[in-house]
Structure 1
Amino acid sequence: MNGGVGWVLSEEVIDLTRGPSGLGFNIVGGMDQQYIANDSGIYVSRIKGDGAAALDGRLQEGDKILAINGRDLKNLLHKDAVELFRNAGCDVSLKVQHRLQPQNGPAGHRGDGEPDGIPLAVILVPVLAIAVVTVWAFVRYRQRM
């Protein structure tokens, strides 16, 4: 029995230059506001469309930020992490952990309970509804004969 989906994790250093709207992303997490149970890490919650992160394209919502300008983000309160980002300067180096496709399971499975592509129910429900209506119409037609 599998205890959970094993995700492929990859790390990357992303250098951003602060723009008019800052770095262009929001963060969640910290020791006092865990985003994921038993994980006090700092995560990207939102990428702003016109910000430095969106223009760069590598940082994604859900990425875990491990360090900023070489400063480890482990065991920080959320407000302390926010202050580090605010005071990081114009050129910012982020060490980021991306969570990629699962290691086990079918190749087309994302690991979050839904297969890639169109869910089976989207196809199956209308087909079954049409079949039921067709059978009902046929039975009504035969009763009138």
Structure 2
Amino acid sequence: MNGSLHSPPNVVDVKLKRGSAGLGFNIVGGLDQQYVVDDNGIYVSKIKEDGAAALDGRLQEGDKILAINGVKLEDLTHRSAVDLFRIAGEDVELRVLKKFPNHVNGPTGPQPQPEAKSPVSTLEVLAIVAGAAAICAFIYVRLQRKHF
């Protein structure tokens, strides 16, 4: 796992030294617990304050961990990935795919915009019209009685 020129710009190697509280982050994902639709990858779900990852500063929530100490995390169950982290030793090297600035879990692409909500609902408009019609009818009937 060297920083070869063939790595995409959003793939970085992060070296962490395990502290008393571990590496200082939680993971989600795996073959049996997909975090991102159609992706079995392992993702950083939480960076623990004052942990090794937070102190280093390069790892962020939403980053995808591609490998740990040279072992690829492709198509592993969540439990298998956790076990790899546990036996990784004191000095841990991660290959990480940095999250995209607008990373979202789920479908990508243009999303439908919600319809603008009118301050008055259709039912309220119908009630007002019906009330106005009833008042007009009442007045009309009263006026008709006076003319007979």
* Shift in CA distance, 18/112, structure 1 to aligned 2, threshold 3 Å: farther
Which structure's CA Rg is the greater one? 2
Greater RCO, CA 8 A, separation 6+: 1
5 Å-filtered alignment, 1:37-48, equals 37-48=37-48
Residue identity in the other structure for 1:28: V
1:112: Cα distance to partner?
A: 9.6
1:9: Cα distance to partner?
A: 6.7
Q: Deviations over 1:27-73 (max 9, x none)?
A: 00000000011100000000000100000000000000000000000
Q: Deviations over 1:105-141 (max 9, x none)?
A: xxxxxx898xxxxxxxxxxxxxxxxxxxxxxxxxxxx
- The CA RMSD over aligned residues, in Å, is 2.0
2:110 and 2:13 map into 1 onto residues whose CA distance is 26
Point out where structure 2 has 5 or more consecutive residues left out of the alignment: 1-7, 103-108, 112-148
Structure 1 equivalent of residue 78 of structure 2: 78
Higher share in strand: 1
Matched, 1:66 2:57: no
Q: Retained in 2: the 8 A contact 1:17–1:23?
A: yes
* Shift in CA distance, 50/77, structure 1 to aligned 2, threshold 3 Å: same
Residue identity in the other structure for 2:72: D
1:101: Cα distance to partner?
A: 3.6
Point out where structure 1 has 5 or more consecutive residues left out of the alignment: 1-7, 103-110, 114-145
TM, length-normalised to structure 2: 0.62
- Aligned residues with identical type, % of pairs: 61
5 Å-filtered alignment, 1:21-40, equals 21-40=21-40
1:82 and 1:112 map into 2 onto residues whose CA distance is 35
1:22 and 1:101 map into 2 onto residues whose CA distance is 27
Residue identity in the other structure for 1:68: I
